[in-house]
Amino acid sequence: DAKTTQPTSMDCAEGRAANLPCNHSTISGNEYVYWYRQIHSQGPQYIIHGLKNNETNEMASLIITEDRKSSTLILPHATLRDTAVYYCIVRVMGYSTLTFGKGTMLLVSP
Amino acid sequence: GAVVSQHPSRVICKSGTSVKIECRSLDFQATTMFWYRQFPKQSLMLMATSNEGSKATYEQGVEKDKFLINHASLTLSTLTVTSAHPEDSSFYICSASGGGEKLFFGSGTQLSVL
């Protein structure tokens, strides 16, 4: 079973920030937090990952709580093309697979 | 970023025929590849893990004789659905790892068995 808990769905207005929460209270010390998204009928797309520190790239920011039991993915200025299912996954870096939960369906509206 | 190419993107076949899906890592050596299956409105389910040059490891409930996986080189893995039936209709997705931080995914193959 997936080790993360995410809301089933969220709505966001275009141009506003989308904040997607994720709980991973049983995360181990060597597990990273990964975020992927899947646009309908496509393969998952990597967004960002982190271990302890907050991370930012051209797509998003990842905020991880100090106790590492939860995190938030932030899309700073959501566009219609950001409508997708967002998956929060914990994974040991290296050769291990990704176990997908149900994810959060983010709907960005005009 | 690294690219994983999956082909074909869509295939329609008759019941009883076999279908081969290819997954290639274009700019890195994929020592490990994963195959997933996704039914409509459901999440991705891992089917099997393959390491280059060795037999694939299948998840519980996945028939290894039906879903043949070959990972003969560091850039190519194939999934063959043998004697396909309508219940095998699904979205199949591969992913590849070079042992680094990220796992990259193909664009998926929609299989429809008539």
**What tens digit of pLDDT does each residue of B9-44 get?**
999 999 999 999 999 999 888 888 999 999 998 999
Beta-strand relationship, B109-113 and B10-13: parallel
A33, A46, A55: which to substitute to probe chain B, counting the most B Cβ within 10 Å? Answer: A46
Which residues from B are below 8 Å from A95, CB to CB?
31-32, 97, 99
Query: What would you report as the CA-atom Rg of chain A, rounded to the nearest whole angstrom?
Result: 13
**Which amino acid makes up residue A57?**
N
Which residues from B are below 8 Å from A103, CB to CB?
43
Q: How confident is the model at residue A1 (pLDDT cuts 50, 70, 90)?
A: very low
User: How far is the alpha carbon of A17 from chain B, nearest alpha carbon, in Å?
Assistant: 25
The beta strand positions in chain A, using DSSP E, are: 9-13, 18-23, 31-38, 45-50, 55-56, 61-64, 70-75, 84-92, 104-109
Q: How confident is the model at residue B102 (pLDDT cuts 50, 70, 90)?
A: confident
Check CB contact under 8 Å for B106 and A45: no
> Mean pLDDT throughout A43-68?
95
